[in-house]
Amino acid sequence: ETGVTQTPRHLVMGMTNKKSLKCEQHLGHNAMYWYKQSAKKPLELMFVYSLEERVENNSVPSRFSPECPNSSHLFLHLHTLQPEDSALYLCASSQELVTSGGYGETQYFGPGTRLLVL
């Protein structure tokens, strides 16, 4: 295992539901990330947190709301989603934020939450 856990692993929700995805890392890392993975598309970076502060938001719709209460936990709150939001949502962490260049940081990914919006 990579040291990054995600719950739930599978989620089916209606468009009017509110749900939350949880990510926890046991690696002592300072940076955490949310990605969306759709079939036949590259991973899309959604949110980046460093030391519990959001540092990047890649034009993600407001129906996705992240929360980082501490450096070990990351949540993604979901509200009034659309069917096209169905995808695999991956959480990742790295020791430091990926801005250092050079040899760079390795991201450790969780197993993902498979989301289906009906």
Partner 1 sequence: KNQVEQSPQSLIILEGKNCTLQCNYTVSPFSNLRWYKQDTGRGPVSLTIMTFSENTKSNGRYTATLDADTKQSSLHITASQLSDSASYICVVSAENQFYFGTGTSLTVIP
Binding site for partner 1 (CB under 8 A): 2, 4, 6, 9, 40-43, 45, 90-92, 98-99, 101-104, 106-112, 114
Q: Any alpha helices (H) in 9-113, and if so which ranges?
A: none
| CB closer to partner 1, 6 vs 66 | 6
CB burial of 10-20 (b: ≥16 within 10 Å; e: otherwise) equals: ebebeeeeebe
Nearer to partner 1, 21 or 90 (CB): 90
Q: Would you say 1 or 16 has its CB closer to partner 1?
A: 1
Distance, in Å, from the CA atom of 86 to the CA atom of 5, rounded to the nearest integer, reads 20
